[in-house]
Structure 1
């Protein structure tokens, strides 16, 4: 609907309820919208300035661990494949599994951003989407259920499929048990830092001592003193 038409219709409803002139009704509608927009802007600023949620950090680490496991199988199948089609079969199985895993992670983060009042225009920029429909495609039932488990919300009704582990996986990530693999996640972070260096000048100084130490040790095994990235 055209914004002017929407404002005119709102003014008519206001005038029918409160009386007064059309001009006064238009002014009242504008003032109400400014106040509402001010509240929305305040909520958005609060969401933007909030500290990083540790559960979401753990969720990112978990999904990276799962994808790394799939990449590992893709690399090693070159030694086990009987022929070209067997090799392509396994690589494609694991590649599409990895895509699905990353799609799920994006859906979890996008749903959480929406829950915290971050506007769609900002989310579209984050996920490089052209419209809101593209954003909606990320927010699957599995993404919602895993986010509920991650955020400690009540378990969903028992209408979910028996093999849908999204909620318990989210709960495990939150509690650092079960499906979560904290030690492997930490090792992957250390090894990736050793290979590619820290992101930002101070990043490695902010890492936990165990991860930082393992990253430095591993880097010396891969690079010479002149080459090592950290």
Structure 2
């Protein structure tokens, strides 16, 4: 052991002479060289991301988009009800920040779903258009994890768990199409959005992928908007 330590000291002094660094710096450099190389484990998530779309994700999106559009309607409608400038700004910002909260929760829950199903952090960060994995952790909030737990039928995680956890309850409603979820309104909204933004009737095939009932409503709505 003594000979081994002496050999290390000799190597450090030789490195010190050759590079001009301090003795302590030379010792640290040699220690790093002696450490075994770390083997990075590469996780292949391609089978997951190329698989079918889980049915709960479009339901999740439909629920939050329905809520967000409701807030947008309130903002637009208040122009006819506002008594003055400050009144309009107050209601507009209330409703828009409510919509923002829904949007952030939707984004965080989708990211948490990807994380739960083994999608690599770098892919999640890329999809979120953020620079680092650390930013992903900030986006996947406790509320998002709780909502995901409700959607997947899992216990709500963490010490915040309560019998009346609102995000878990909403998640369960999204999965079961009950509770806070307005399934018929969501389908109608999807139809009207398709009528406005799909390119129909200029592209006659734009509505072909919609369910029959939704497509019929979209066609009728497109006819009304073109009159």
Instruction: Work out whether the TM-score is over 0.5.
Output: yes
The match for 2:79 is 78
The match for 1:214 is 217
The match for 2:125 is 124
Write the distance in 1 (CA, Å) between the matches of 2:33 and 2:100.
44
Write the distance in 1 (CA, Å) between the matches of 2:206 and 2:172.
28
Aligned length: 195
Alignment of 1:1-230 (within 5 A): 9-10=35-36, 36-37=41-42, 40-41=43-44, 44-155=45-156, 159-160=160-161, 164-197=165-198, 204-224=207-227
CA RMSD of aligned residues (A): 2.6
- Name the structure where helix makes up a greater proportion of residues: 1
Give me the TM-score of the superposition, normalised by structure 2: 0.77
Q: Computing the radius of gyration over CA atoms, which structure comes out larger, 1 or 2?
A: 2
Give me the TM-score of the superposition, normalised by structure 1: 0.76
Deviating 4+ runs (over 2 angstroms): 5-11, 154-164, 198-204
Deviations 1:53-109 (A, max 9, x none): 111110000000000110011011111111100000000001111111100001001
Answer whether contact 2:198 2:206 (CA < 8 A) is retained.
Answer: no
Write the distance in 2 (CA, Å) between the matches of 1:123 and 1:221.
40
For structure 2, which runs of at least 5 residues remain unmatched after alignment? 1-30
Write the distance in 2 (CA, Å) between the matches of 1:205 and 1:159.
45
